[in-house]
Amino acid sequence: MNITVLGTGYVGLVTGACLAEIGNHVVCYDPDRRKIDVLESGGMPIHERQLPEVVARNVQAGRLRFTTEIEPAVRHGDIVFIATGTPADQDGSADLQYVLAAARSIGRHMQGYKVVVQKSTVPVGTASKVRQAIEDELAARRTEGDAAAGSSEQVFPVGIVSNPEFLKEGSAVDDFMRPDRIVIGTGPGEAGQRARDLMTQLYAPFNRQRERILYMDLNAAELTKYAANAMLATRISFMNELANLADKVGVDIEQVRKGIGSDPRIGYSFLYPGVGYGGSCFPKDVQALVRTAADHGQRLQVLEAVRAVNDAQKHVLFEKIVARFGDDLHGRTFALWGLAFKPNTDDMREAPSRVMIRALVERGAAVVAYDPVAMTEAKRVLALDFADSAELLRRVYYAPSPMQAVEDADALVIVTEWTAFKSPDFHALKSALKQPVIFDGRNLYDPDIRAQGFEYMAIGR
Ligand code: UDX
């Protein structure tokens, strides 16, 4: 099939590359010339496991192309995916300007029937706005006498589909190639059926051993995506609050995690307490869903609490540092392991490390940070975070290895659970640190390291 993907961010690039991988001819469009230049010259604008290989293989095979030209891009695809960004507006709702601009471009340049698939996470009701934007452009073209824009008798020149993604950064290619479910939301009637049939054909290679496709209404598909992320975020905030209680009552939260996770109704995943969730999805989607509800006169009180707990959780480890070292951290140096919001990515969006770094340097401390891949991105993001307080940023240093970061530091602070941090040489660590103090925001170690002379502060243990 011929596929077009509008937007080459995480979602767009992974979608395009993986659909090419199964034999489709894919054109990925982005208005950002620099991004397309990087991709065309064999580079990668994001850090994502397996993606460079999949992209290279399919470019080589002639199944994957990149372009900044919208008109041929739109004409190419029988199916056109919209995978543009939906940043949070000032009031927390999703900003749809890029999605709707993509929809207008489709209406302006399409020559025949297309299925338009909404991949970006968008509020309930966006599909009808997308349809309207396309219809408006087609109507304008018809007024101009453009025969290729169809006739006014045509009821649905486009099929609209909502097909949210459930990709996790760091395993996005795997998640796409081995989905646990494929949600396809379509409109009613024959037009909906036609779009559904084409989508079923497209996803057939991912749907072999068992039925993974869930067909539903457009609005239900849109809400499913938010509901999934909101549910996962809720589990995390729930566990974070419980971990804070565990600290107070002298319980190891890890024992409780296993104790409840073994109940199949609860399950083990997304029950890890830590320094709060970050990334491009959970914070934004929780906020947007609260906003959508407010627009309909409803409060989502559980999610309001999920968000508040998460904001507070990003400070919990720092509070432990202050409890140990006091309010004034001048003259202290802290080694920071991990910058990315989670392992296997260089993504710094809403990363808890940013809150930690700011808190430390504002109290006068110096920070020596190490991250296996996110240091370049961290430098870029922190320069913006500290744009009006550059003197604070001068207290942030970067080390070329985890062990060099801890050299002569007052304590080690862990905020991202990279595999490289999971079994360090504790002897070396002890002799490198000024004093053997570890603040572990990801509960990586057995609390028994206390018996080896470490002061070990973790989350709920
Ligand atoms: C998430 C969803 O998982 C994915 O389905 C959706 O498409 C996009 O949003 P992602 O943001 O890539 O994916 O990361 P994820 O692995 O879900 O982690 C999100 C955040 O939650 C991270 O900051 C992580 O550290 C935190 N987390 C996760 C916890 O604190 N505890 C856990 O048990 C799990």
Residue 155 has pLDDT above 60, yes or no: no
In this prediction, residue 239 carries a pLDDT of 98
168 lines ligand 1 (CB under 6 A): yes
In this prediction, residue 263 carries a pLDDT of 98
In this prediction, residue 89 carries a pLDDT of 84
On whether residue 289 sits in a domain, the answer given is yes
In this prediction, residue 39 carries a pLDDT of 96
Burial of 156 (0-12, 13-18, 19+ CB in 10 A): middle
In this prediction, residue 258 carries a pLDDT of 97
On whether residue 216 sits in a domain, the answer given is no
Q: Greater confidence, 152 or 84?
A: 84
Query: How many angstroms does the Cα of residue 428 sit away from the middle of ligand 1?
Result: 32
Place of tokens 């009552």: 249
State the residue range of the domain holding 442.
230-457
pLDDT confidence tier of residue 350, bands split at 50, 70 and 90:
very high
Dump pLDDT digits (tens) for 42-65. Answer: 999 999 999 999 999 999 999 999
Provide the CATH number for the domain around residue 244: 3.40.50.720
How many domains does one find in the chain?
2
Cα gap 198→208, rounded to integer Å? 16
Residues 96 and 238 in one domain: no
**Ligand 1 atom nearest residue 236's Cα:** 31
Is 144 annotated as contributing to ligand binding?
no
Residues 240 and 108 in one domain: no
Residue 405 has pLDDT above 70, yes or no: yes
One-character DSSP codes across 62-118? T-EEEES-HHHHHHH-SEEEE-----B-TTSSB--HHHHHHHHHHHHH--S-EEEEE
Average pLDDT over residues 387-414: 97
Residues 149 and 257 in one domain: no
Average pLDDT over residues 419-442: 97
Cα gap 179→177, rounded to integer Å? 6
Which is catalytic among the residues 6, 79, 281, 357? 281
Residue 153 has pLDDT above 70, yes or no: no
Average pLDDT over residues 367-378: 98
On whether residue 219 sits in a domain, the answer given is no
Dump pLDDT digits (tens) for 305-322. Answer: 999 999 999 999 999 999
In this prediction, residue 149 carries a pLDDT of 85
In this prediction, residue 151 carries a pLDDT of 72
pLDDT confidence tier of residue 240, bands split at 50, 70 and 90:
very high
Of 270, 289, 353, the residue with max ligand 1 atoms within 8 A of its CB, to mutate for a pocket test, comes to 270
Dump pLDDT digits (tens) for 131-140. Answer: 999 999 999 9
Q: What are phi and psi of 282, to 5 degrees?
A: -55, -55
On whether residue 382 sits in a domain, the answer given is yes
pLDDT confidence tier of residue 279, bands split at 50, 70 and 90:
very high
In this prediction, residue 270 carries a pLDDT of 97
On whether residue 180 sits in a domain, the answer given is yes
Cα gap 117→124, rounded to integer Å? 15
Residues 197 and 289 in one domain: no
Residue 150 has pLDDT above 80, yes or no: no
**Which amino acid residue places its CA nearest to atom 21 of ligand 1?**
277
Residue 418 has pLDDT above 70, yes or no: yes
On whether residue 22 sits in a domain, the answer given is yes
In this prediction, residue 281 carries a pLDDT of 92
Residues 295 and 201 in one domain: no
pLDDT confidence tier of residue 148, bands split at 50, 70 and 90:
confident
Of 167, 282, 314, 459, the residue with max ligand 1 atoms within 8 A of its CB, to mutate for a pocket test, comes to 282
Is 113 annotated as contributing to ligand binding?
no
Instruction: Quote the percentage of the chain above a pLDDT of 90.
Output: 93
Number of helices and strands in the chain (H, E): 17, 14
On whether residue 437 sits in a domain, the answer given is yes
Residues 91 and 177 in one domain: yes
Residue 220 has pLDDT above 80, yes or no: yes
Residue 93 has pLDDT above 90, yes or no: no
Q: Are 433 and 355 in contact (CB under 8 A)?
A: no
Residues 328 and 418 in one domain: yes
Three-state DSSP class for residue 409:
coil
Residues 179 and 291 in one domain: no
Q: In the listed set 177, 211, 245, which residue is the last one of a domain according to the structure?
A: 211
